[in-house]
Amino acid sequence: MKNILLASYILLSSFLLSNPVETGHAKASLISNLQSSTQESFFVGVRLEMQDGWHTYWENPGDSGSPFDAKWTTDDGVIVENVQWPTPVTIPYPPLMTYGYEGDIVFPFQVFRSQETNLQKISVDFNFLICADICIPETASLTLDLSSIAPSNLLDAQIDDLPSRILPTSSSIEGNNLLVEFQTNEIFSTAYLFPREGNIFAYPKTQPLKQIDDSRYVISIPLINADLDSFSGILRLDKKGFQVKEQIASNSGISLWQAILFALIGGLILNLMPCVFPVISLKVLSFVSMGGDDHSKIRNHALAFVGGVMSTFLSIATALIIIRSSGSMIGWGYQLQSPVVVGILTLIMLGIGLILLTNINIGTGLTSLGGTIQSKNDYSGSFFTGVLAVVVASPCTAPFMGAAVGYALLQPSFATLPIFLSLGLGFAGPYLVLAIKPDWIGSLPKPGAWMETLKQFFAFPMIATALWLMWVFMVQTSGNALIQLLILGLVLGLAIWMIATFQNRWKWIGLAATILLAIQIFNNLPSSSASQEDPNAQNWSPAIESNLQATNQAYLINFTAAWCITCQTNEKAALSRPGVQEYLSAQNILYIKADWTNRNEEIAEGLAKYNRSGIPLYIYWKPGMNESKILPAVLTEDLLIRNLK
């Protein structure tokens, strides 16, 4: 009897706290996942339990219907964001097709409050249209007592099930049909695309699905009007929903051949970017040392370098395709989001710099990276110099590269590979020409004692790169982790000295100690959650653009990272300049930063909205603009201000 009374009390308390309201054909109530009175962000959900045969509507109701309207009453210092719509279902009513929800559904709203706010209750007037054979507008005035409500598992489950992930797609128009191609490893039997915009799809018509290969599909959607520039919506695969935002390739996107051409030009320009100079300088030094050699040997070394470049670009493209097929968003320079990779690159650059300052012979393969004491018939050094050049090129995005790589990573695999190979061909182009015309190397100065001075000079760009990578490593991890990396660099220097000094097998002890210490340090790195703080910038969030546009607030978004040299150069040359900051303030343009230094799926999805997969990316919008404007990848103060006018 006691247990029955206790269960009845708990049920009655839950009922009173969530204040359910019977509206006629549904029961409405408020639920929350608030866990602490000091929590600054949490969710409140409007739960609607509809009678069998009745339904309500999505934000685009289709041929008939209307979405709900929610008017919130809160304390000062509290913001309730727009609803995060669950994945809808089709509700056919021949000859009409509508989109909405049946049964038991929860509509989540995210709530933000300041620490000073003592929020006890939250209320909403929820007006919705509910239909069966007839439609009835109903209203529920709901209040939730937050002081004693228990967190709702039902709400958390609905939030987890929201269609928050963006599915990369490519679209084109054939006749009066929109063809949307997508790639996924999800197992599903049915697919349907719900458009967020009205009056573009022929709702009652079927959307045939065709499987291209194991992971690629295309869905065909009949259109009301084939003159379509863009669309967005939710792609439902069985019960799971994905966000889709697409520019129509036939109207506004670049073609595959344009992307291949842009990649070729971008690869050529990439040779001139500062992140590549330290490694390219090694190859230049190597070629200078071959001034009097046989042309066939010069050709073979040039081709080995080209082979290293092309194979690395092919490997990166293949890795990106595999990672993307798993459903993850990925981009150019993704490997530098790992502090382990950054730490290893730091040691490689530091080690090469120390070798260039000395006359150490650590074996043909490594010394060939320095362009000295190289066996003229061993081409492995040239090959691995090509590999290293591509790896360190990741922090840079050359002009034309952004559009090409962004297109490649949002297209099916058959388009991704040729674009990356074209990028590699452009990057390796000058050395491919040298392989065809090896006699051109005769125009370079003859080898001599001056080369030792040049070799030592080229050590300093390497050491400078190592210092920059140490800073990136610290941003990604912590100051303590940086100290460990510095100690590791000291041990590496000791190892190089031992190899240079001792002539027996003990000389390799230092190198072995370096490797063991590196394994220990990199296996125990702190979690990388840091980001660069900028007092002049607001932090980016996925919903910030739509929220600012809804309030007519102009904004400039800077997608950046500590490891992106182009980004950091633009920061110094333009974005942080007093003239730019004064202009932004005078024109009431909100400056927003999306820091991609560490891996962040939401930022990757934000880049994908603009058909980009790498940084830098600068997005500008002001009231009166139909769509956001993508600014140039390389900025100056004057160029930036001109683009903001």
Per residue in 255-271, pLDDT tens? Answer: 778 888 888 888 888 77
Q: Which two tokens stand for residue 644?
A: 């903001």
CATH class label, 18-160 = mainly beta
What is the DSSP pairing of strand 78-83 with strand 169-174?
unpaired
- Give the separation between CA 442 and CA 291, rounded to whole angstroms: 6
Three-state DSSP state, 242: strand
The Cα-based distances of 184 to 235, 241, 242, 322, 344 in angstroms read 12, 12, 11, 11, 33
Q: Which residues make up the CATH 3.40.30.10 domain(s) of the chain?
A: 538-644
- Are 423 and 267 in contact by the 8 Å Cβ rule? The answer is yes
When mean pLDDT is compared over 219-223, 379-383, 465-469, 548-552, the highest value belongs to 219-223
Q: Give the right CATH number for 538-644 from 3.30.70.260, 3.10.20.30, 3.40.30.10, 3.40.50.300.
A: 3.40.30.10
CB 548 within 8 A of CB 555: yes
> So what CATH class is 169-247?
mainly beta
Start and end residues for every CATH 2.60.40.1250 domain found in the chain: 18-160
Give φ, ψ of 224 to 5 degrees. -80, -40
Q: Decide which of 176 and 391 is more confident.
A: 176
Reported as a single tens digit per residue, the pLDDT across 360-369 is 544 433 434 4
Answer positive or negative: Cα dihedral of 288, 291, 297, 302.
positive
Structure tokens at 540: 């980016």
pLDDT in tens, 178-226: 989 888 888 888 999 999 988 889 888 999 999 888 788 999 999 887 6
Rounded to the nearest 10 degrees, the angle between the axes of helix 339-356 and helix 479-501 is 30
In this structure, how many other beta carbons lie within 10 angstroms of the beta carbon of residue 588? Answer: 10
Looking at the DSSP bridge assignments, the partners of residue 17 are none
- Return the exposure string of 339-354: e unless at least 16 CB atoms fall within 10 Å of the residue's CB, then b: bbbbbebbbbbbbbbb
Cα separation, 474 vs 478, whole angstroms = 5
CA distance 328 to 321: 10
Confidence of residue 442 (pLDDT cuts 50, 70, 90): low
* Helix (H), strand (E) at residue 266: helix 256-270
CA 406 from centre of chain: 10
14 pLDDT band (50/70/90 cuts)? very low
Query: Burial code of 202-213, b = ≥16 C-beta within 10 A, e = fewer?
Result: bbbeebebeeee
| Residue 250 pLDDT exceeds 80 | no
pLDDT tens-place string over residues 57-79 = 999 999 989 999 999 988 777 88
Closest CA to 572 of 502, 640, 493, 523: 640
pLDDT (average), residues 24-40? 88
Q: For the chain, how big is the Rg over CA atoms in Å?
A: 30
Residue 474 corresponds to which amino acid? M
Q: Which of 543, 536, 493, 317 is nearest to 409 (CA)?
A: 317
